[in-house]
């Protein structure tokens, strides 16, 4: 097994475990019939090519070491998508209260969006993974954003890849106004939040009623 594969394996384990745990928050809200602040969760281990690019950018040695993992902070990356901007604060608080990870850094690109128009809330957490060589504490980045923020960021990320950050003026302006449109979309959705959530609760009850196999054991037995 290559040195990189060995080095990355606790990060992969952290991503796998954290995906299950963060998705678990969604199902737990479902069980108590409460609208979940978590819409969906994704995760990835930073591709080696991106690790390489980042070491060049930051002037770090491209060598598998704990120090590199700590310098980059995002080798293990999770992303939590929320429906509404207010859900982000609920999710960050749930993360701060957990005992299985420790928040070491927070960056609020929602109150202070990036010049590109990027908005998201970032947390860096220390997370211990149990391996056959004992406990290894790794850093993981958790990005928390709305669906609208995510839509904008994924489009901008693809374009960034294409233009290597050197956007033509026209594209730059369009992206700025798309970021404003995403911001307004979040505001509009927040203003009709209770309407939306009532409709969603009604819809999920209706789905359960028309498909008894979705009912919980308790409900089926009564």
Ligand X SMILES: Nc1ncnc2c1ncn2[C@@H]1O[C@H](COP(=O)(O)OP(=O)(O)OP(=O)(O)O)[C@@H](O)[C@H]1O
Complex with ligand X: residue 154 or 173, whichever CB lies closer = 154
Closest Cα partner for 47 from 72, 22, 19? 72
Neighbours of 71 (CB within 10 A): 15
Neighbours of 173 (CB within 10 A): 11
**Cβ proximity of 76 and 14 under 8 Å:** yes
Half-sphere exposure of 113 (CA within 13 A, CB side): 15
- Shortest Cβ distance from residue 177 to ligand X (Å)? 22
- Shortest Cβ distance from residue 115 to ligand GTP (Å)? 8
- Shortest Cβ distance from residue 216 to ligand X (Å)? 31
Residues facing 137 on adjacent strands:
128
Contact set with ligand GTP (CB under 6 A): 74, 107, 114, 116, 118, 122, 153, 156-157
Q: Which of 21, 26, 40, 42 binds ligand X (CB under 6 A)?
A: 42
Catalytic residue among 141, 180, 195, 208: 141
* Residue 74 in contact with ligand X, rule: CB under 6 A: yes
How many binding residues for ligand X (CB under 6 A)?
14
114 touches which of ligand GTP, ligand X, none (CB within 5 to 8 A by kind)?
A: ligand GTP
Distance CA(46)–CA(110), nearest Å, equals 23
* Residue 157 in contact with ligand X, rule: CB under 6 A: yes
Q: Which of 143, 152, 179, 186 binds ligand X (CB under 6 A)?
A: 143
107 touches which of ligand X, ligand GTP, none (CB within 5 to 8 A by kind)?
A: ligand GTP
Complex with ligand X: residue 47 or 212, whichever CB lies closer = 47
Half-sphere exposure of 75 (CA within 13 A, CB side): 28
Sheet arrangement for strand 121-131: 40-45, 76-82, 134-146, 121-131, 102-108
- Shortest Cβ distance from residue 143 to ligand X (Å)? 4
Determine the Cα angle at 19 with ends 18 and 24, to 5°.
95
- Is 71 a catalytic site residue? no
Catalytic positions, written as ranges: 141
Which residue ranges make up the site for ligand X (CB under 6 A)? 42-44, 46-47, 50, 54, 74, 77-79, 141, 143, 157
């Amino acid at each position: 097994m290559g040195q990189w594969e060995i080095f990355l394996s606790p990060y992969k384990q952290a991503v796998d475990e954290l995906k299950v745990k963060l998705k678990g928050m969604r199902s737990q809200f479902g069980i108590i019939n409460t609208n979940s602040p978590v819409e969906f969760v994704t995760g990835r281990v930073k591709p080696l090519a991106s690790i390489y690019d980042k070491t060049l950018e930051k002037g770090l040695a491209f060598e598998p070491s704990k120090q590199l993992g700590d310098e980059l902070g995002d080798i293990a990356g999770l992303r939590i998508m929320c429906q509404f901007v207010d859900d982000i604060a609920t999710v960050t608080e749930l993360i701060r209260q957990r005992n299985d990870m420790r928040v070491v850094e927070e960056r609020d690109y929602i109150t202070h969006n990036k010049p590109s128009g990027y908005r998201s809330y970032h947390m860096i957490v220390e997370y211990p993974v149990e391996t056959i060589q004992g406990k290894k504490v790794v850093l993981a980045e958790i990005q928390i954003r709305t669906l609208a923020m995510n839509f904008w960021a994924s489009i901008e990320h693809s374009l960034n890849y294409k233009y290597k950050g050197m956007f033509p003026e026209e594209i730059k302006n369009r992206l700025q106004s798309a970021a404003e449109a995403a911001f307004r979309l979040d505001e509009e959705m927040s203003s009709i939040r209770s309407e939306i959530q009532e409709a969603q609760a009604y819809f999920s009850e209706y789905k359960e009623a028309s498909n008894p196999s979705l009912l919980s054991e308790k409900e089926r037995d009564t």
